Amino acid sequence: MLSRFEPSTRRRIRQRLNRTLQPAWLGTLRRTQPLSRNWGYDRGTPVDRYYIEQFLQRRRDDIRGRVLEVKDATYTSRFGHDVNRCDLIDNQASNRMATIVADLANAESIPGDTFDCCVITQTLQYVWDVGAAARELHRILRPGGVLLATVPAITHLDVRANFPDYWRFTPDSCARLFEPVFGRERVLVEAYGNVLTSIALLSGIAREELSQAELDACDRDFPLVVCIRAVKGAP
């Protein structure tokens, strides 16, 4: 029956038939409910944390002097290098560990040129005016200070939080966000992840359930986490 078609057409028809006759095997993922609604914390470590920690490990020499981190000092304690003070910022006064209660988009209580490093992981999706947050982070950094930020390209909505979840990011949007503030030559944007790790995070599969090769494969078409390093220039 296919002999009447051109070879290229026959090839396309066979490929289409193969896809129709051999549907993808989804195994435990053929379900409408995730394996975990807590990013996989109840199964192990969330997949996105692998990329965040790899990024901070490579940039640990930037985490020095006086450091600002969000909510707690987990990453400053783990990756910091010659840190002499760590301040914790939160917009919730109920966080007793917070030394600064402020919104990243409106942190007027923090003097300019204060910090040598700001570690802002998986936070900007909760800030409505991310442009204002970028400007505030630049303002409170000392000249030569470094912003290390990570943002989600893919993750499920945090509907259980007591604050709104607004944004998801791409490498291009991060460049457009930070380059006008810090200067193009002082901003580095990196993307990590692939289609498998993105599916894993959405499904609640933990990092420990994937192989090293699966975690380390990066596909620019399927970023999971976007990481930003931005340096404040001299006045």
List pLDDT tens digits, range 119-133.
999 999 999 999 999
Q: In this predicted structure, what is the pLDDT of residue 133?
A: 98
Residue 130 included in any domain: yes
* Tokens (6 digits) for 80: 């910091």
Q: For the segment 153-177, what is each residue's pLDDT rounded down to a tens digit?
A: 999 998 777 789 999 999 999 999 9
Predicted confidence band of residue 79 (pLDDT cuts 50, 70, 90) = very high
Q: What is the domain range of residue 103?
A: 34-231
Report the alpha-carbon distance of residue 7 to residue 170 in Å, rounded: 40
pLDDT-derived band at 4, boundaries 50, 70, 90: low
The whole-angstrom separation of Cα 183 and Cα 159 is: 35
Predicted TM-score (pTM) above 0.85: yes
CATH classification at residue 133: 3.40.50.150
Q: To the nearest 10°, the Cα dihedral for 118, 131, 226, 124?
A: 70
Confidence of residue 28 (pLDDT cuts 50, 70, 90): confident
Q: Please report the sign of the dihedral spanned by the C-alpha atoms of residue 41, residue 79, residue 218, residue 146.
A: positive
Residue 20 lies in a domain: no
What is the number of helices (H) and of strands (E) in the chain? 7, 7
- The total domain count for the chain is 1
pLDDT at 17 over 70: no
Share of the chain above pLDDT 70, in %: 91
Is residue 20 scored above 80 in pLDDT? no
Render pLDDT for 99-116 as a digit per residue (tens, 0 to 9): 999 999 999 999 999 999
Residue 4 resides in a domain: no
- Residue with token string 């090769």: 213
Tokens, residue 195 = 């289609």
Residue 44 lies in a domain: yes
Q: Would you say residue 2 has pLDDT above 60?
A: no
**pLDDT over 60 at 72, yes or no:** yes
Considering the domain boundaries, does residue 13 fall inside one?
no
Asked whether residue 103 is assigned to any structural domain, the reply reads: yes
Residue 124: inside a domain: yes
Whether 77 is in a domain gets the answer yes
